[in-house]
Structure 1
Amino acid sequence: MDLMLAKVETENEIATVAEMASQIWFEYFVSIISKEQIAYMVEKFQFAPAMTEQIKRQGYEYYVMKAESRNVGYLAVREDEGKLFLSKFYIRKEERGKGYASQAMEQLTGRCKERKLASIWLTVNRHNHSAIAVYNKKGFETVKTQVADIGNGFVMDDYVMEKTIG
């Protein structure tokens, strides 16, 4: 099944992504971080006003991943010093394992080549072993670790991973 990346531009599209984000985050991350931190991060980074700010003022591009007419996930990217920062990359639970992550990564790699960007980089929670395994399989390597204070007593304890685009 072919995956399409549909650019998010309208308020309704942003609201759809925010709703999907909340569902995915509370389902997926509860085994990795506290519910309190999930709620804080969803409100700070995955809520419609935050996404609108990222799109309008911070150079982010959001995309809904669509298979047939279903929204299977979403991602957000931003060009950053000749590289592509993959800020968000989330797939709904019932859609995982169907090859959508691979198809999305292929499309992002193609966009990097078109835009003459050297690599794709991302941050991933150090305890998110399944995502790390997927990124390793897709050619990403851990380049450093970082702990970022995000406020309210919470930190993001991440690996920074990068994939060179040939």
Structure 2
Amino acid sequence: MAQPPKIRRIGVEELEIVRELALIIWPKCYRNIIGPDRVDAMLAVLYATDNLEDEMIRLGHVFWIVRYGDLNVGYASAYMDGGRLWLKKLYVRDDHRGLGLGKALIEAALEHFHTDRITNSPPLEMALYVNKDNTPAINYYLRSGFQVEAEVPVQMGPYGFTDYVMQKAI
């Protein structure tokens, strides 16, 4: 039997783990939504170690890794903006979904940001962007108490998408 999952915050020196997980998770998650050519191009930019470092150092994003047994199986990142805690990334390998790992990563973000260090007050809500065609993720977030707040255009490099902004009070 596998050991219980372990979630830990990581530093800049471990962002390569996030990139490696994205290379495994993203193609399966997005190939039918945005196409394999776009997935590869977006992975190359969004998960370049320099860009991840920029998110962490300049933008204040916090990253976590979830380990199940002896395998890293997922990651998340989040940051505060005013009274809103933004869940920027939440990904778990498809062969490890349904084990409560996504929920545990969300809880790690909530625990870390229980008090906004700038305003010294707790976040009032959690929000995220999700591609409007990513039905499995949308259904997961709906089951987790999020609601669609808005539909917005998103530009990632040369690619345009439509995302939902989803939020829930915390």
TM-score by length of 2: 0.88
Structural RMSD (CA): 1.7
Could you tell me how far apart the structure 1 residues matched to 2:5 and 2:168 are? 21
Q: Which aligned pairs between 1:61-100 and structure 2 lie closer than 5 A?
A: 61-100=62-101
Q: Establish whether residue 28 from structure 1 lines up as the match of residue 29 from structure 2.
A: yes
1:44 Cα offset (Å): 1.9
Could you tell me how far apart the structure 2 residues matched to 1:155 and 1:130 are? 21
Alignment match of 2:11 (pick from 9, 12, 18): 9
1:4 Cα offset (Å): 2.9
1:155 aligned partner, one-letter code: G
Which stretches of structure 1, 4 residues or longer, exceed 4 Å deviation after superposition? none
Paired-residue identity, %: 26
Alignment match of 1:135 (pick from 120, 133, 141): 141
- For the 8 Å contact 1:65–1:73, the answer to whether it is kept is yes
What stretches of structure 1 of length at least 5 have no aligned partner?
Answer: none
- For the 8 Å contact 1:30–1:38, the answer to whether it is kept is yes
- For the 8 Å contact 1:73–1:90, the answer to whether it is kept is yes
Q: Establish whether residue 162 from structure 1 lines up as the match of residue 164 from structure 2.
A: no
What stretches of structure 2 of length at least 5 have no aligned partner?
Answer: 117-121
- For the 8 Å contact 2:126–2:167, the answer to whether it is kept is yes
- For the 8 Å contact 2:12–2:53, the answer to whether it is kept is no
How many pairs were matched up?
A: 163
Residue in structure 2 matched with residue 108 of structure 1 by the alignment: 109
- Greater helix percent: which structure? 1
Could you tell me how far apart the structure 1 residues matched to 2:138 and 2:71 are? 26
1:34 Cα offset (Å): 1.5
1:20 aligned partner, one-letter code: L
Could you tell me how far apart the structure 2 residues matched to 1:108 and 1:38 are? 26
Q: More deviation in 103-112 or 137-146?
A: 103-112
| CA deviations over 1:1-53 (Å, ceiling 9, x no partner) | 64332112143x11111011111111211011122221222122122111011
TM-score by length of 1: 0.90
1:67 Cα offset (Å): 2.6
Give the SS at the match of 2:34.
coil
Residue in structure 1 matched with residue 56 of structure 2 by the alignment: 55
Could you tell me how far apart the structure 1 residues matched to 2:66 and 2:168 are? 21
Could you tell me how far apart the structure 1 residues matched to 2:15 and 2:38 are? 22
1:112 Cα offset (Å): 4.3
Residue in structure 1 matched with residue 119 of structure 2 by the alignment: none
Give the SS at the match of 2:128.
strand
- For the 8 Å contact 1:3–1:104, the answer to whether it is kept is no
Could you tell me how far apart the structure 1 residues matched to 2:66 and 2:107 are? 13
